Structure 1
């Protein structure tokens, strides 16, 4: 069954909020009022990607990040190989060997990755998708009840 133009996928709008936290608080309020929240959907609209620059990327940072990631993989491989050891010292040796190999290869690949960008992206960042508006939608059969609860919620805030 597909959604029609008059009946959007999430139902009918019973509230609209500027932040996800406000929409979440509204749905939490509905839950506190014993409203069957399985009839509710939060839909974000007007999506945009926000990239926050967190710092400068240098060869040293790229190598350090590669070494850290490689250390985790090396530790994992070392632990797997250590399972098959018959002696405690062999187990420690396989774990340390895996860790060391992971650090070395991770650092090398970190340097290669940095060199491959040729200075086109000399910064680190994080990405997230945010919405301009968050609509609380509800099954049409329960929409009026949800609106009544959310009216009390808006008066409370």
Structure 2
């Protein structure tokens, strides 16, 4: 019967930082120092979702966003249809028709989607997941070497 000691995910901690950019800079420093960074892991802890409200959602905004997205898809389909048409004479017509049909259907579907919410979410936002702390972890066999390099990194400023 063999005994094993449980090791945290990613190895042992060799550094801890307040932002991902700082942790990334530390690993980049290790790489510059020719440390084998394939032994390193960055782990974010204390996760939270941050949602930034960017504006008010209105009928005009919903319809224009849907029309714009639909126009791009319509343009793409129109270009494909135009490229594979038997004669190249109606290429521009295919592109223009695809653009218009995409614009109309995009606005229509966006309007239906906005109407279905019945005003329960009348704002636009972006969201992201951020961590409260970023730990740089390392394989135990290389941990002391990583700690020594990161000590020089922290003295650097």
TM-score band, normalised by shorter chain? over 0.9
**Is the partner of 2:10 in helix, strand or coil?**
coil
Q: TM-score, normalised by structure 1?
A: 0.94
Q: 1:148 to 1:105 in 2, by over 3 A?
A: same
Greater shift, 86-95 or 33-42, is seen at: 86-95
1:3-56 residue CA offsets vs partner (Å, 9 max, x unmatched): x87311201000000000000010011111111111100000000100000001
Residues matched between the structures, number: 154
Q: Deviations over 1:63-95 (max 9, x none)?
A: 000000000110111111112223333111111
Moved over 6 A (4+): none
Tell me whether 1:138 sits opposite 2:138 in the alignment: yes
Ranges in structure 1 where 5+ consecutive residues have no aligned partner: none
Paired position in structure 2 for 1:123 = 123
Q: Separation in 2 of the partners of 1:127 and 1:55?
A: 13
- CA distance, structure 2, for counterparts of residue 5 and residue 54 of structure 1: 49
1:72 counterpart residue number: 72
The SS at the match of 1:86 is coil
Which residue pairs with 2:111 in the alignment? 111
SS in 2 for 1:77: helix
Do the aligned partners of residues 156 and 100 (structure 1) sit closer, same or farther apart at CA in structure 2, a change above 3 Å counting?
same
Distance 1:89 1:5 in 2: 73
Q: Kindly report which structure 2 residues correspond to 1:1-157, keeping only aligned pairs within 5 A, or say none.
A: 6-157=6-157
